[in-house]
Structure 1
Amino acid sequence: MPSPPDRSPDSNLDRKKTPAVKKNRRSSWSGPWLSSNEALKNVVLKMRLQSLSNSSSTTPPSESEPEPEFDPFNSRPISHGNAAPDYSSMLSDKLLVKILSKISDKKQHISNSLVCKRWCMLSGKLINSIKLLDWEFLESGRLSFRFPNLVDVNIVPSCIKSERNSGILLSNRLCSVHLDSGVGENEGFLVKKGDVLGSDVVDRGVRILSEGCGNLRKVVLMNVSEEGLSILADECELLQEMELLCCGDSSLKGIFKCQNLQMLKLVSHLDGIYDSVVSDIGMTILAQGCRRLLRLELVGCEGSYDGIKAIGHCCQMLEELVLCDHRMDGGWLSALSYCGNLKTLRIQSCKSIDSNPGPDEHLGCCPTLEELHVQQCQMREKLGVRALFLVCRTVRSIVFEDCWGLDNSIFNAASICRSVTYLSLEGCSLLTMEGLESVIPFWKKLDRLRVVACNNIKDSEITPELATLFSVLKELKWRPDSRSLMEAGLAGTGVGQKGGRSLRK
């Protein structure tokens, strides 16, 4: 039988004398709400039960794994132990990609991709340009899987086998190659012929690339054949810019299908690396296929009047033509007159402008030409340089940079260009003040002048006529040598004085 309750007077007395002691509880923001509002309690309990019922209906909980505990106010799992909760798991992929895209530092994407597999995949979607260093990464299909949104791909570094640990690096603006100790045994080439991937291997990689990245806008390829270019043209209809290295006339047949191509760069010959040929045949093929070209750059290409004429006749939208280290036959300058919409002509690193330009009446003229850039070229042949100025006599901007052989007599032929508004001379050491005096007075529209590193042009030789001309220019940069003092040469003209004419340097 249960023992009767204790009814001793001492116990009753203790109950009467001992006051009720309230325990100190930690204040909480939810306390007043839950204590005064029973409806809020019911809402929170109902939300929690509904959350648990939804999770149990989709995936029944395992008997061995306990159900996770949720915070009723934050709807987040309660973490036990030292493991930190993954708050990013509550964000959708679309929202998380939008957040990661706000990071301006591109290098930070590499660190973000190391967080977890999910972040690795989402960070890969933000990469749109890549330079391939490992060919196996492309052949295995991991390139398109890892970076599905690529629009710019350069596979040239992976097409040349080289020792990555070599201390010798051959680099130029087109490609970089690591060299080994046996570089002198390659028959005059710095790279062995077997070290460049074959066309069949490159075509297979181009097929994988084009099928996985159909939104490509720019590609840089090497030693690709007609088959590879055809596949690329069929799969990547948005392709607009292309660079081809180690290409020949036969491979350009595949470029015929690239109807939307706007910028094309052909690197036919590259000293020490490879030697291929692009002649008038290849130029005619690309001209008939790529009729929407806006910019064409020919590097180390062989050709003549016929090839340039085909380009000018078919590519009527061509606005910029670049010739670098060309091997053109004599007379090619006269074909520029067929480029009816040409606005910019660039001639770079050429040993000769035109060895045999022909009579003046056959040269013609480019009526829409606005800019002429001649950089690091041999200009000792007076006939070729004079023919260049005749063809470009409507030009408005002339730039000479590090041109060998440009003396006063050759520069005097530029006086035929009467519409020049801007002249830039840099590294023209043979040119003197006498050469400037023989040309600049004929350019009535000249308003900008730049003279840099032309050591034979002296401040002391500035005549009052030139000083007056300089004072009305809108822009003047005068640094012919390190001892140049423009103020001494323009003494008495009012330039540089308070209230006088302005001189912008």
Structure 2
Amino acid sequence: MGLLSVAEECSTLQELELQKCSDNVLRGIAACTNLQILKLVGSVDGFYNSVVSDIGLTILAQGCKRLVKLELCGCEGSFDGIKAIGKCCQMLEELTFCDHRMDDGWLAALSYCENLKTLKFQSCKRIDSNLGLEEYLGSCPSLERLHLQKCQLRDKKSAAAMFSVCRAAREIIIHDCWGLDNNIFSFAIVCRRVKMLYLEGCSLLTAESLESVIHSWNELQSLRVVSCKNIKDSEVSPALATLVTTLQDLTWRPDTKSLLPSSLVGIGIGNKGGKFFKRT
């Protein structure tokens, strides 16, 4: 009732954050018809345990159809709840999942978010453990940016499905994610429209794996590799060195011992007779 009163009195309210949120609380949000930015915090380990399920997500979707940016923290739900958001909130451009508790099979519902431009996963212990039939997975046709931060990416099927759903992405940012090894990263090869790749804290990746993926990205313009200790200068092939010289933007600091400068354009690396990186 309190939220409903706020919604009725503040008819032009555009941004709202709800902590310790639940399905019952969300019954009052339907009146926030002009809401554009919303952050819902359900469960937070060690602090409180509130439930936001498909019921709350469906109520939200039917009432707040002008949402542009939505962040779901510690929320439950499943395919049905995310599908409702995708079908009702057609203006939604940015969707963030933080430490989500979604039921298996929810990832396929992202394909209903037809105008989604940015998809973020933060501090998620998993993405989707049981995906169902691959032919129903779909993709986000308007997606421009996939951002992963402090997530567990150990499950191969889950990672493959995530990259498949995000195969239209132009930017991929992966920051301090656990379990991102060469095999998991190889699934990113399906994202053939990538223009910018930013890797930070990806300690299991090697130069060979990086090269095998980005060589299939013909539109790549920007590459940033920071604090990825297994990507070593001594293992950078002439083919990879040649590739990076064509980029518009390069930041190369995989470890503190790296000798590569931040920009390699014009110094002849990878060209016949040119010098290659050697440790001194």
Report if aligned partners of 1:377, 1:404 keep a CA contact under 8 Å in 2: yes
Report if aligned partners of 2:7, 2:31 keep a CA contact under 8 Å in 1: yes
Aligned counterpart for 1:454 among listed residues 222, 225, 228: 228
Q: TM-score, normalised by structure 2?
A: 0.93
Q: Write the distance in 2 (CA, Å) between the matches of 1:486 and 1:356.
A: 42
Q: Write the distance in 1 (CA, Å) between the matches of 2:10 and 2:177.
A: 41
Task: Quote the residue 1:356 is aligned against.
Answer: 130
In the TM superposition, what is the alpha-carbon distance from 1:484 to its structure 2 partner?
0.4
Alignment partner of 1:442: what SS? coil
Within the alignment, does 1:276 sit opposite 2:54 as a pair? no
Task: Quote the residue 1:387 is aligned against.
Answer: 161
In the TM superposition, what is the alpha-carbon distance from 1:330 to its structure 2 partner?
1.0
Alignment partner of 1:285: what SS? helix
Change (3 A) 1:281 1:467: same
Alignment partner of 1:283: what SS? helix
Within the alignment, does 1:470 sit opposite 2:247 as a pair? no
In the TM superposition, what is the alpha-carbon distance from 1:491 to its structure 2 partner?
12
Task: Quote the residue 2:149 is aligned against.
Answer: 375
Report if aligned partners of 1:299, 1:326 keep a CA contact under 8 Å in 2: yes
Report if aligned partners of 2:198, 2:225 keep a CA contact under 8 Å in 1: yes
Task: Quote the residue 2:256 is aligned against.
Answer: 482
Task: Quote the residue 1:294 is aligned against.
Answer: 68
Change (3 A) 1:492 1:251: closer
Which residue identity is paired with 1:467?
A
Q: Considering only aligned residues, what root-mean-square deviation do their CA atoms show, in Å?
A: 1.5
Which residue identity is paired with 1:295?
K
Report if aligned partners of 1:467, 1:493 keep a CA contact under 8 Å in 2: no
Within the alignment, does 1:439 sit opposite 2:213 as a pair? yes
Which residue identity is paired with 2:190?
I
Q: Deviations over 1:316-348 (max 9, x none)?
A: 000000000000111111000100110000001
Alignment partner of 1:250: what SS? helix
Q: Write the distance in 2 (CA, Å) between the matches of 1:264 and 1:353.
A: 22
In the TM superposition, what is the alpha-carbon distance from 1:234 to its structure 2 partner?
1.3
Report if aligned partners of 2:208, 2:236 keep a CA contact under 8 Å in 1: no
Greater RCO between the two (CA within 8 Å, min separation 6)? 2
In the TM superposition, what is the alpha-carbon distance from 1:359 to its structure 2 partner?
2.5
Alignment partner of 2:115: what SS? coil
Q: Deviations over 1:338-363 (max 9, x none)?
A: 00110000001001011011222110
Report if aligned partners of 2:154, 2:178 keep a CA contact under 8 Å in 1: yes
Aligned counterpart for 1:248 among listed residues 13, 18, 22: 22
Report if aligned partners of 1:468, 1:493 keep a CA contact under 8 Å in 2: no
In the TM superposition, what is the alpha-carbon distance from 1:492 to its structure 2 partner?
10
Report if aligned partners of 2:66, 2:91 keep a CA contact under 8 Å in 1: yes
Alignment partner of 1:470: what SS? helix
List structure 1 runs of 4+ shifted beyond 3 angstroms. 490-493
Within the alignment, does 1:405 sit opposite 2:179 as a pair? yes
**In the comparison of the two structures, how many residue pairs are matched?**
268
In the TM superposition, what is the alpha-carbon distance from 1:268 to its structure 2 partner?
0.3
Alignment partner of 2:62: what SS? helix
Alignment map for 1:118-137 (pairs within 5 Å): none
Alignment partner of 2:197: what SS? strand
Q: Deviations over 1:3-24 (max 9, x none)?
A: xxxxxxxxxxxxxxxxxxxxxx
Q: Write the distance in 2 (CA, Å) between the matches of 1:381 and 1:255.
A: 36
In the TM superposition, what is the alpha-carbon distance from 1:458 to its structure 2 partner?
0.2
Task: Quote the residue 1:112 is aligned against.
Answer: none
Aligned counterpart for 1:339 among listed residues 100, 109, 113: 113
Alignment map for 1:21-60 (pairs within 5 Å): none
More helix by percentage: 1
In the TM superposition, what is the alpha-carbon distance from 1:493 to its structure 2 partner?
5.2
Report if aligned partners of 2:177, 2:202 keep a CA contact under 8 Å in 1: yes
Within the alignment, does 1:258 sit opposite 2:26 as a pair? no
Fraction of identical pairs, as percent: 64
Task: Quote the residue 1:494 is aligned against.
Answer: 268
Alignment partner of 2:28: what SS? helix
Report if aligned partners of 2:23, 2:53 keep a CA contact under 8 Å in 1: yes
Q: Deviations over 1:238-265 (max 9, x none)?
A: 2100000111101111111011000110
Q: Write the distance in 2 (CA, Å) between the matches of 1:361 and 1:396.
A: 23
Q: Write the distance in 2 (CA, Å) between the matches of 1:491 and 1:447.
A: 13
Aligned counterpart for 1:414 among listed residues 185, 188, 193: 188
- Report the structure number with the largest CA radius of gyration: 1
Which residue identity is paired with 1:420?
V
Report if aligned partners of 2:245, 2:265 keep a CA contact under 8 Å in 1: no
Task: Quote the residue 2:140 is aligned against.
Answer: 366
Task: Quote the residue 1:74 is aligned against.
Answer: none
Alignment map for 1:98-247 (pairs within 5 Å): 227-247=1-21
Alignment partner of 1:296: what SS? strand
In the TM superposition, what is the alpha-carbon distance from 1:271 to its structure 2 partner?
1.7
